[in-house]
Amino acid sequence: MKRFTMTILALLTALSSGAWARTDNGNDVALYLSEARTPSDQKSLISDAMGRPHYFRYLRIMTIEEGETNGLPCMAFVTEEPASYMKVAFTISKPVSMKTLKEAPPSMIGDAIAVSGKIAAVDLKRQLITLRPVIVRHKDRLTPKIGKEMLYELDPSAICYSFTAVKPGVQLPYKHRDLLDHKAEILEKQGKQAWADFLRSELAKRKQAERP
């Protein structure tokens, strides 16, 4: 199958937990990991993503296993992210999510779902991202539809990248994504603080230039 690349910017959907106030784009994380050229790039991407909530769409269900956790029914999934071909694994136990999965027609192998979850582990050898905990957002299509559907197509100021290895973190709008071209070089030669300072400086310059 010919690999296709797509950059998907997530709808910034608040999760039911107040601690999950902002959700980053999981599809982008998977794609960037699959295309990272060096181990340092991969390590930086994983460091940025770990423990943060991400929104994944178009996840094709590869396997489903039903069972119990703490005496409650659960469903364990292994899915495939379409742009990167990375596997995304998670277990669903929340009643609302279980109800969504079992609504007619029930989700089956080969179908697609959209989920929000915190990245708990990344295994590059197995090309596997593990999410925990997870909420099923909705049943989904296997691929994006043609036309304006992604947040960045509607709002170029949508966040496409977050760097949180230093405090305070830095968020990069999609329209300034070209700054990511400098990421590997600055991180390798100058370190995390220099990368964060570079982003802040360049974003401030561009914001100033946009003013009338």
Q: Domain for residue 10, yes or no? A: no
Same domain, 162 and 86: no
Q: How many residues does the chain have?
A: 212
Where a domain ends, among 113, 140, 167? 140
Range 156-190 burial, b when 16+ CB lie within 10 A, else e: eebbbbebbeeeeebebbbebbebeeebbebbeee
Q: Tell whether pTM > 0.75.
A: no
Take residue 173 and report the two structure tokens written for it: 């709008």
Closest CA to 120 of 89, 152, 83: 89
Confidence tier at 32 by pLDDT (50, 70, 90) = confident
Work out how many domains the chain is built from and give that number. Answer: 2
130 with 159, same domain?
no
Which has the higher per-residue pLDDT, 129 or 69?
A: 129
pLDDT the model gives residue 6? 40
Of 83, 106, 140, the residue at which a domain comes to its end is 140
State the Cα–Cα distance between residues 151 and 159, nearest whole angstrom: 9
Question: Does residue 160 sit within a domain?
Answer: yes
Provide the residue range defining the domain that includes 160: 155-210
Tens digit of each residue's pLDDT (9 = 90 or more) over 116-137: 999 999 999 999 999 999 999 9
Q: Is the pLDDT of residue 197 over 60?
A: yes
Mean pLDDT for 30-36 is 86
